Amino acid sequence: MKDAALDGVDRITAKRLRVEYLTDPLGIDVVRPRLGWNPESGRRGAEQSAYRIVVAGSPEKLGLGEGDLWDSGKVDSGESQHIRYAGVGLTSGRQAYWKVMVWDEAGEPGTWSEAASWTMGLLGRDEWDGFWIGRKNDRKPTREKPNPVVYLRRSFRLRGGIRRATVYATALGVYRLYANGLAAGPQLFAPEWTDYHARVQYQTYDVTALLREGDNALAAELGHGWYTGYIGMFGYQKYGMDPAFLLQLNVEYEDGGVERISTDESWRVSWGPIVASDLQMGETYDARLELPRWKEADCSEDGAWSEPDRLFDYRGRIVAQMTPPIRATEERSAAGVRMLDEDRLIVDAGQNLTGWLRVSLRGKSGESYTLKYAEAIGGSGEIYTDNLRLASQTDVFILGEDGPKTFETTFTCHGFRYVEISGAGAGRLAPGDIFVIVVRSALEETGRLETSDPDLNRLLDNIRWTQRSNFMGVPTDCPQRDERHGWTGDAQIFARTAAYNMDVSAFFAKWLTDLTDAQQPTGAFTDFAPFIFGPKTEFDNDFTYTHIGSAGWADAPPMIGWLLYETYGDTDVLRRCYPAFRRWIDYNEQLYPSGIRRDAPQYGDWLSVDERPFEETKAEFDWLVSHHSTTPYDVFATAYWVHGTKLMERIALAIGENEDAERYRALHARAQEAFLREFVSSEGIVKGDTQTAYAMALGMELLPESMRRSAADRLAAKIEGAGGMATTGFHGTKYLLNALCDYGYEELAFRLVLRREYPSWLYSVLQGATTIWERWDGWTEERGFQNASMNSLCHYAFGSVGEWLYRHVGGIDAVSSSPGFRRVRIRPRPKGGLTSASCEYDSLHGCVRTEWTARDGRFELRLRIPAGVTAVVYVPCENGGQVKESGIPCGEELAMKESGDPCGEELAMKESGVLAKAREAIRALGREDDCVRFLVGSGEYFFESLYETMGGNNG
C-alpha cells in the first residue's frame, strides 16, 4: 500500500502540471489559460501555502528561471488549480514553457517541478491563408454504397535550418494527415463531431521532426464522418454535400525567416483505394486502386491527379480542439476464432468494444473478404446483427496483388464483440493474423475499484467498457446501431459515474458547447447534441421539434455544468453557459406557468419494468404513460422542473449571481409547492406510486422533511413487494440506491446491487455481458434477445450504479460544499457480504486511495489522501469499540480527550493550516451511526476497528 513514489520524498513538489486540464497541449485558443498542478509530498498534513509560476518563451530561458512571458512571483495561496495565466499577451503559435515551485504549510520551499508546456493555436480567421479544398461528387450515397474518400497531396521544397514546423488543419468531414509518409499525429476521426452549423475544431501538429531540407510532402485522406456521412437515424449529408479540407503549415527558420503553405489550387486530388466509406455502414478498400507513394515527396504519379475543387467558405467558427483526441488506445489479440466453414469464420474479440480489426489476408488479386461486425452470437451460432438496425457495420477488403496484405479501416468505427470474416479461404485465417483495435476519446482513466466479489468487478469493468465505447468525441448512447447520438438524458444520468472512471473535465466542457450551440431560439435545449436540424427524415418524423425540450433530457446542460463544478470546481464553464441556462429556465417558466410540466410523454423514466400489468397503468394514466415508462409523465417532468430550479439557484450562487439566486429560490418554492399540491397525497403517496416516483422524489429533494421517511419506507416496501427487485428505468435507477441508503435501507441497497436474478445488474453479468445493456432484459433465458428495434448491448445509462459503488464500496466521495474534491468523504461500507475492496480516484487535487477488509469481526482501512486535501473518514466500529490508527488507539477516546477542542469546526481547522505533524493530521470527530469519524489531512493512514459486518445499520 505504501506509495513507493512518495517514499522518502518530504519536500513538497508540484506534479501533473496541466493547462486547461490538458497535458502539454498544442494549439489552444484560450488566451489566458488556466494552469493547474498537484502538490505532492509523502508527509502527513502536507499542504501548499504558496506558489510561484514561471513561464518562458523557450526551454533554455525556463531552465535559467527567466520568466520572460510571466513570473507570478511568490503568491501566498493554497490554490493549485485554475490559476489564470497573467503574463505577456500570447499571440498565434506562441510557445510557452512553464514550471512551478510550491511552499509547504510551514513555509518551506519545495523543489521546482518538471517543465511543462503549451502552444497557442491560430487565433484569427485571417491567419488561415488558404481555402477549403476537396473534390465534388454528384453521386448520392446509399446504405449499400457510401461515397469514396478523397485523397489530397501537396509537395514543396524547404530550405535548411528549420527551427519549427506546425500544421493547423481541419475538415468538414474527417481527415488523416501525413507528413512525408508518416502520420502527423495519433488523431482518428479529426476534427470530431461538433455542431458544424456553429463551429468546427482544428487540430495542431508539431511536424518539425517530420519535415526536412529539400523535397517534402503533406498528404491527407478526407472522409465523410458526421458531416456528409450517415448520422443517427437520419441518413446522409445532414450538414453538407462534400467533405472539405483546410490546412495551414507555418515553417519557422533558425534565421527568423517564415514560410507558409496552405490549402489552395497547388494541391492535387484523386480518388483512391477507399472506394466507399461511412462511419455506420463501413468501408470498402480496393487495394488494386492503391496510389503508390502518394504520401511521399517523390510520388511520381500525381501528375495524373487533378486540381482540387475550391469549396464554399465555412462561415461557422473555427476553434481549437481542446480535448484528448479520439485515437487507438489498445491493440488486443483475438480471444477466439471459430471456423464456420472453409470460407467463413467468426472472430471473438473477447470484449464488446468500439473499434475494428486489423487483419492479414491472403489470396489472389481481386479476391475480396467481407467483415461483418456484431455484438452477439444468435441462437444459430451465427453473428446476431438484427439490433444494428440500418447500420450495416460491414467492411470489404479487396486484394491488389497475390499474397498476404494487412488491412484496416480508416474512417469507420464499429461497436462489436464478434466479427464474421468471409471470403475465399477465410476459414483458414490464423489467430495471429487478427488484431483488435480499440478506439475511443483518449480520456485519462481516473478511477479503479475492485471488490471481493468477482461478478461485481465484472460489472464495474462493463461500466468502464461501455464508457470507453461511447465516449467518442461526444458522449453517445450506443456505438453500433444507426443512432450513436449525444443523447442528453443518458449522459446526464451517467455523468457522475463517468467522472469517477475518467477525467471528463475537458470532454464535458466541449460537449456543453455542443449543447449550447444546439439551443433553440426559444431557449429550449435539445434532446441530443450535436443536434440535427433539417426536414422530415425518412421516418417521417420531424425531429427538428419533437426531440427538443424533453424532461430529463433537455434538462441536462445545467446538470452537466454542475457536475463540472462539483468535480473540478470549474466556475468558468458555469459562467460561460449561464446565459444559456437562464434562457432554458425562462422558456420552461413561460411554457408551464403553473409549475406543472405536462405534455405528451417523449420518453419519461425510459425502459422501466412494469410493476403491474401495463393495461392497468394505461387505464389509470392514459397518455401520461407508455410501454417504455410507467411513471406518469407529468410527475416525472415536473420533478425535473423542481430539481432544475433548485440547481439554478445553486449555480447562480456559485458564480455570484445573487439576485438571480433569489429569483430561482422563489421559483423553486413555487414549483415544489405545485408538485406537492398536484401529485402528493396527504398520506405521502406520489402519483403513479412507482419505485421511480419515490426514488426521484427523495433523490431530487422534492418532498418536505416530514414526508421523506414515509416515502423511503414506501419505496423499500415496494421493492420488497416486487420480490426484492428494482423496476426503475434510466432515471429512477440513478436515484434509487442513494435514496435507500439515506433513509436507513442500506442493506436493501446492497441486496439490489448484488442481486443475480432478472432484473438486476448482475443478471446481465451472469449472461456473459461485457458491457452494460440498454435494457434490463436485453436477453433473457425465456425470450432470448429483446425486440431488435431497440436493444443495444452497449448503453451506459444503467451503468449509473457506478457512482454509488465508488461512494459506498470504494468509500470515496466529494464533500459537496467543497467543489473539486478539495475535501473528501471517506465512508466505505462493508456490507452485503463484501469482505474487501480497494479503490483509487485521481481527483483534480490528486490521488485518493482506500483499501479495506472486513473479516472475522475486524475492519481495517488503509487510506491515502493527497497533499492539500482534507478528508472526513468514517470508520465502522462497534458501539463502545475503539479505533486504532497505525496501531495507536484513537477514536472516541481521543474525541473525549479533545472535547473542548474545535473538532466540530472542521473547516476552521483546515483554513488555519495546522495540519502539520503526524498526530495533528488526525482529529476525532465523534460517532455517527455505526462509525467513528475522523478529520485527517494528507498522508497515509491505517485504521483498525472491531466491526461485525452483519451488524450496524440493517435498514
Q: Which residues form the catalytic set?
A: 483, 774
H-run or E-run covering 941: strand 939-946
**Cα–Cα distance measured from residue 785 to residue 829, given in angstroms and rounded to the nearest whole number:** 36
Q: Which three cell numbers stand for residue 417?
A: 464483440
Stretch that binds ligand BGC, among 182-190, 477-485, 497-505, 781-789 (CB under 6 A): 477-485
Nearest to 14 by CA among 45, 41, 37, 47: 37
The three-state secondary structure class of 244 is strand
Q: Give the total of residues touching ligand BGC (CB under 6 A).
A: 10
Stretch that binds ligand BGC, among 92-100, 252-260, 485-493, 762-770 (CB under 6 A): 485-493
Q: Please, which residue, 373 or 603, has the CB nearer to ligand BGC?
A: 603
Q: Please, which residue, 216 or 466, has the CB nearer to ligand BGC?
A: 466
CB of 743 to ligand BGC, least distance (A): 29
- Residue of the chain from 399, 478, 506, 737 that contacts ligand BGC (CB under 6 A): 478
| Cross-strand pairs, 337 | 347
Q: Please, which residue, 103 or 606, has the CB nearer to ligand BGC?
A: 606
Q: Please, which residue, 414 or 795, has the CB nearer to ligand BGC?
A: 795
Other Cβ atoms less than 10 A from the Cβ of 765: the count is: 21
- Residue of the chain from 70, 189, 487, 543 that contacts ligand BGC (CB under 6 A): 487
502 contacts: CB under 8 Å, gap ≥ 6: 443, 444, 445, 446, 447, 467, 471
x-or-dash pattern for ligand BGC, window 296-335, by CB under 6 A? ----------------------------------------
- Using CB under 6 A as the binding rule, whether residue 694 contacts ligand BGC is answered as no
- Using CB under 6 A as the binding rule, whether residue 554 contacts ligand BGC is answered as no
Q: Please, which residue, 195 or 490, has the CB nearer to ligand BGC?
A: 490
Q: What angle, 0 to 180 degrees and rounded to 10, lies between the N-to-C axes of helices 730-742 and 705-721?
A: 110
| Interior angle at CA 189, CA 245 and CA 290, nearest 5 | 70
- Using CB under 6 A as the binding rule, whether residue 605 contacts ligand BGC is answered as no
Nearest to 212 by CA among 131, 298, 291: 298
Q: Please, which residue, 494 or 761, has the CB nearer to ligand BGC?
A: 494
x-or-dash pattern for ligand BGC, window 741-780, by CB under 6 A? ----------------------------------------
CB of 787 to ligand BGC, least distance (A): 12
x-or-dash pattern for ligand BGC, window 507-546, by CB under 6 A? ----------------------------------------
- Using CB under 6 A as the binding rule, whether residue 483 contacts ligand BGC is answered as yes
CB of 629 to ligand BGC, least distance (A): 9
609 contacts: CB under 8 Å, gap ≥ 6: 725, 726, 727, 728, 729, 759, 776, 777
CB of 477 to ligand BGC, least distance (A): 4
CB distance 193 to 226 below 8 Å: yes
Nearest to 39 by CA among 70, 77, 2: 77
CB of 385 to ligand BGC, least distance (A): 17
Half-sphere exposure of 663 (CA within 13 A, CB side): 11
CB of 604 to ligand BGC, least distance (A): 9
Which 232-291 positions form the footprint of ligand BGC (CB under 6 A)?
none
Stretch that binds ligand BGC, among 167-175, 239-247, 482-490, 852-860 (CB under 6 A): 482-490
| Interior angle at CA 769, CA 764 and CA 772, nearest 5 | 75
Stretch that binds ligand BGC, among 192-200, 486-494, 777-785, 816-824 (CB under 6 A): 486-494
Q: Which three cell numbers stand for residue 787?
A: 425486440
Q: Please, which residue, 393 or 843, has the CB nearer to ligand BGC?
A: 393
Transcribe 613-674 into DSSP letters.
-HHHHHHHHGGG-BTTB-S-HHHHHHHHHHHHHHHHHHHHHHTT-HHHHHHHHHHHHHHHHH
Q: Please, which residue, 321 or 631, has the CB nearer to ligand BGC?
A: 631
- Using CB under 6 A as the binding rule, whether residue 490 contacts ligand BGC is answered as yes
CB of 560 to ligand BGC, least distance (A): 15
- Measured CA distances, 146 to 130, 393, 503 (Å): 29, 12, 35
CB of 553 to ligand BGC, least distance (A): 7
CB distance 167 to 295 below 8 Å: no
The residue type of 376 is: A
Nearest to 200 by CA among 165, 227, 176: 227
CB distance 740 to 955 below 8 Å: yes
- Please, what sign has the CA dihedral across residues 776, 780, 782, 788? positive
Which 776-815 positions form the footprint of ligand BGC (CB under 6 A)?
790, 795
CB of 600 to ligand BGC, least distance (A): 13
Which 368-407 positions form the footprint of ligand BGC (CB under 6 A)?
none
947: alpha, beta or left? (left if phi > 0; alpha if psi -120 to 50): beta
- Residue of the chain from 282, 489, 561, 891 that contacts ligand BGC (CB under 6 A): 489
- Residue of the chain from 477, 555, 570, 746 that contacts ligand BGC (CB under 6 A): 477
Cis? peptide before 308, omega within 30° of 0: no
Stretch that binds ligand BGC, among 301-309, 481-489, 510-518, 693-701 (CB under 6 A): 481-489
Q: Please, which residue, 435 or 487, has the CB nearer to ligand BGC?
A: 487
The per-residue b/e assignment along 293-304, b for 16 or more CB within 10 angstroms, e otherwise, is: ebbbbebeebee
Q: Please, which residue, 475 or 846, has the CB nearer to ligand BGC?
A: 475
CB of 40 to ligand BGC, least distance (A): 41
The three-state secondary structure class of 41 is coil
Report the side by side order of strands in the sheet with 174-179: 182-183, 174-179, 214-223, 150-158, 268-271
CB distance 688 to 668 below 8 Å: no
CB of 730 to ligand BGC, least distance (A): 7
Q: Please, which residue, 487 or 562, has the CB nearer to ligand BGC?
A: 487
Q: Please, which residue, 485 or 822, has the CB nearer to ligand BGC?
A: 485
The three-state secondary structure class of 636 is helix
Q: Please, which residue, 483 or 944, has the CB nearer to ligand BGC?
A: 483
- Using CB under 6 A as the binding rule, whether residue 647 contacts ligand BGC is answered as no
- Residue of the chain from 202, 234, 603, 934 that contacts ligand BGC (CB under 6 A): 603
CA distance between the termini of the chain:
33
x-or-dash pattern for ligand BGC, window 419-458, by CB under 6 A? ----------------------------------------
- Using CB under 6 A as the binding rule, whether residue 606 contacts ligand BGC is answered as yes
| Cross-strand pairs, 457 | none
CB distance 551 to 602 below 8 Å: yes
Stretch that binds ligand BGC, among 332-340, 459-467, 475-483, 615-623 (CB under 6 A): 475-483
**Cα–Cα distance measured from residue 203 to residue 512, given in angstroms and rounded to the nearest whole number:** 19
Transcribe 88-132 into DSSP letters.
SPPPTT-EEEEEEEEEETTS-EEEEPPPEEEEB---SGGG--S--
CB of 149 to ligand BGC, least distance (A): 29
CB of 668 to ligand BGC, least distance (A): 26
Name the phi and psi angles at 681, rounded to 5: -75, 170
x-or-dash pattern for ligand BGC, window 885-924, by CB under 6 A? ----------------------------------------
**Cα–Cα distance measured from residue 66 to residue 87, given in angstroms and rounded to the nearest whole number:** 13
Q: Which residues bind ligand BGC (CB under 6 A)?
A: 477-478, 483, 487, 489-490, 603, 606, 790, 795
